[in-house]
A and B are shown apart, each in its own frame.
Chain A
Amino acid sequence: MRNQKRQIGSIQTGNFMRQRTLLQEITAFCHLLKQMDINVTTTNQISFCRSLEIINIAHRDEFYHTARTNLIANESDRETFDLAFGLFWKFPRPTPHPLERDEDDTGAPSADESSLQELTDMVQDDGGDFTVNEWLELNSEENDEQEAGDTIAYSPDDVLTQKDFSKLSPEEIEKAREAIAKFAALLATKLSRRKELAVKGKTIDFRRSWRKNIAYGGEPLTLVHKRRKIKKNKILLLCDVSGSMDCYSKFLIQFIYGMQQEINEIEVAVFSTRLTNITGLLRRKGVEEGLREMAEVVPDWSGGTKIGESIIGFYREFARSFTANRSIVILISDGWDQGDADVLQRSMEMLNRHAYKLIWLNPLLGSSGYQPVCRGIRTALPYVDYFLPAHNLESLVKLTKVLVPIWSR
């Protein structure tokens, strides 16, 4: 960390370009990329060095493209890479003369330098270690302050449900985690297109049968059977974090945490007016730290709700990652939607088409006398496979029981 700081500092003074060998520079550059969450492996670095032997390194374009093709493996890293590249190799942004890079060291601070400052801050920020419980405490205090203003969106009756998750002891949290784990385990599998050998399998594996019967001169004496493998599901968790959901935030956090523990392939995104994919964040920082940072990263935390717009935005950006594997989409929202009803309908249609199963967990369903009458829900309901309550522990346990017979077809 400190090392990092020094490097960036010396870029600012413009001195250190002359102090090290190229190999050291490259190692330092790769190190910077790693600090910025680009996962550069040693193999990549070696390959990059080998590439440098066969290109003209005095040619900036060539050098840049060589670095890029070797060091990044995701288009989404490109922006970070360009920033790092610009900073580290000290290329002023738009300039027609590739080789005159060392000459304008002085001058007014540019946009680059302010982002450099951010970068330095980001890299320096160590952060404390929080446990989920501590984080929850912290969060509950924040929540208490907000609730007075934010819970007017629905009847006072519903506010009571917040107690469901807010006053849990560590043992109860443990129980909650178990309940979530059970739920997650249920969703975690489906039948694959791949087959595996099975004595009780229904289809005949001709390849293996022939192979086996060659020993008998090709007479089909024994048959080998196969059946469809059980495959792990991919799950997409879309969580509403708008103002009206504030009092369920504890449930959400527990739920996200539990699901992440149980299921390998899970994508988590939170939305209110816009959708933010936080999977990477959670994976990199762990759930505790990730969630803490989440509130800062997500621009409209506790804002209004635009479910339709959020979902469509999501499909544009993270696109068809979910169409191929037909993942299960779990939408957690109370359905208070301020967006365009047409857009909501279009987005639900889209989800319905692309998802293997679409599950809507609604915390409000838990309160007695609730009817799904608000516009958002009415629009969305026809496209939802399962519309289920989820507001506390008990509801989750029930939920799992309800789902078991339907799921294990």
Chain B
Amino acid sequence: MFESIEKVQDACARGEYITDRALATTIYLAHNLNKPIFLEGEPGVGKTEVAKVLANITGGKLIRLQCYEGLDTNSALYEWNYTKQILQLRIDEAQGVDKDQIGANLFSETFLLKRPLLEAIQSDGGAPPVLLIDEVDRSDSEFEAFLLEILSDFQITIPEIGTIRAKHIPYVVLTSNRTREVHEALKRRCLYQWIDYPSLQKELSIVKTKLPHINNHLARQLCNMMQIWREGDYYKKPGVAETLDWGLALIALGKDALDPDIVDETLGCLFKYQDDVQRAQGADLHEFIARAKRLSDSSPDEESEKADWVYSDG
């Protein structure tokens, strides 16, 4: 499935993830060059999803490491199981094991607790795992430096055991919401890809893939409405995740068309900041919905999705 960029795109589509050409190129190259992927973009545009779908289509195990400030090697890499070691000592003692032998095996793999990074490197069986290092921007620079080391060699040194080298180089996907700038050195080790809010056509295919039960008409109105929302000046514009939430909410409420009341009641699916909700409420919902409906009626039924051409959005 990694023979060509088109095949990557098809495979992702089968895994219910709609990619554009740029992202498919990055995935294709990541596979063939064994390089990590670095994905940046606003929250809710489907960065994490890339790793999930990659695991899904390759059949590899998804190993996730959620980053936070203060994340250290003990929770990212490995830890010794101290209680187990102490118990072992006690057992050895009770059984009257030879003095020289007591505690001889304390620092062996039996007593090693594997954390995500070690797990990804050590995994052997079948397809290479997909290592998702989520929200790298939340970690601190110490952890970034540590990642640099691992991502360049895919090997880990544990002083008590020795160096462990990856049997299969895992797929690595790093994501960042850009709450701060991640260090260039780390980004430059990776294939970089910015994921933007989707175009109308792309969003429509996403909605139809993810919510197969949605009425065609509603899907179209929904997506047009999202494009209109995103033109507005909000602190946090709604992403694809919000679109899907909103679609689900509308289905659950049994609606097959947008109307001002229902939009007003479900704004919570779309905006997560009080300021934004207020601004959205202040907007002319009637006019917005009328526009969305006009747009959905005027666009022809199945417009083929054009490859998003490089300069068309510039």
Please list the residues of chain A having a beta carbon within 8 angstroms of any beta carbon in chain B: 39, 41, 43-44, 47, 50-51, 54-55, 61-62, 64-66, 68-70, 72-75, 78-79, 82, 86, 93-94, 192-194, 207, 210-211, 214, 217-218, 234, 315-316, 319-325, 346
Contact = CB atoms under 8 A, between A and B. Distances in A.
A313 B312 CA distance: 26
B72 interface: yes
A51 B233 CA distance: 39
A218 B70 contact: no
Interface string B64-100: 0000011010100001101101100110010000000
B175 interface: no
Nearest to A315: B235
B10 to A, nearest CB: 16
Contact of A214 (B89, B310, B312): B89
B178 A62 contact: no
B29 interface: yes
Contacts of B72: 194
B185 to A, nearest CB: 9
Contacts of A65: 21-22, 25-26, 310
Given A214-B89, A324-B138, A66 B307 contact: no
Given A66-B29, A79-B314, A193-B69, A324 B38 contact: no
A299 B52 CA distance: 45
17 contacts: A44-B188, A61-B21, A61-B307, A62-B25, A69-B26, A70-B29, A70-B191, A78-B194, A82-B310, A192-B70, A210-B83, A211-B80, A214-B82, A217-B90, A316-B235, A320-B178, A321-B180
Given A39-B188, A214-B85, 12 more contacts: A39-B184, A47-B191, A50-B33, A55-B5, A61-B21, A70-B191, A73-B190, A82-B310, A194-B142, A211-B80, A321-B178, A325-B180
B179 interface: yes
Contact of A69 (B181, B189, B192): B192
A74 B193 CA distance: 9
Nearest to A349: B275
A62 B5 contact: yes
Contacts, number: 124
Contacts of B181: 74, 321
B25 A55 contact: yes
A85 B88 CA distance: 63
A323 B32 contact: no
Contacts of B103: 214
A214 B107 CA distance: 11
Contacts of A70: 29, 191-192
Nearest to B192: A73
A65 B30 CA distance: 13
Nearest to A232: B141
Interface of B: 5, 21-22, 25-26, 28-29, 32-33, 35, 38, 40, 69-70, 72, 74, 79-80, 82-83, 85-86, 89-90, 93, 103, 106, 137-138, 140, 142, 177-181, 184, 187-194, 233, 235, 275, 307, 309-312, 314
A214 B307 CA distance: 62
A50 B32 CA distance: 9
Contacts of B38: 73
Nearest to B35: A47
Contacts of A346: 275
Contacts of B29: 51, 54-55, 66, 69-70
B178 A207 contact: no
A194 B86 contact: no
A41 B72 CA distance: 29
B295 to A, nearest CB: 23
A194 B25 CA distance: 39
B25 A54 contact: no
B301 to A, nearest CB: 24
Contacts of A82: 310-311, 314
Contacts of B310: 61, 64-65, 82
Contacts of A323: 179
A218 B89 CA distance: 8
Contacts of B179: 319-321, 323-324
A207 B82 contact: yes
B177 A320 contact: yes
A75 B177 CA distance: 12
Contacts of B187: 73-74
B89 A217 contact: yes
| Nearest 7 Cβ contacts at the A-B interface | A218-B86, A73-B187, A210-B82, A193-B70, A65-B25, A324-B179, A75-B194
Contacts of B40: 75
Contacts of B194: 75, 78
A316 to B, nearest CB: 8
A64 B307 CA distance: 13
A51 B33 contact: yes
A66 B137 contact: no
A72 B35 contact: no
Contacts of B83: 210
Contacts of B70: 192-194
A403 B21 CA distance: 54
A61 B29 CA distance: 14
Given A47-B35, A69-B192, A319-B178, A211 B82 contact: yes
B86 A214 contact: yes
A44 B138 CA distance: 25
B311 A94 contact: yes
Nearest to A40: B188
A62 B309 CA distance: 11
B106 A214 contact: yes
A82 B86 CA distance: 61
A210 B82 CA distance: 6
B314 A69 contact: no
Contacts of A316: 233, 235
Contacts of A39: 184, 188
B26 A43 contact: no
A14 to B, nearest CB: 20
A69 B86 contact: no
Given A51-B29, A214-B82, A69 B178 contact: no
Contacts of A62: 5, 21, 25
Contacts of B89: 214, 217-218
B208 to A, nearest CB: 25
Contacts of A68: 22, 192
A50 B31 CA distance: 13
A65 B193 CA distance: 9
Interface centre among B40, B79, B233, B310 (most CB of A within 10 A): B310
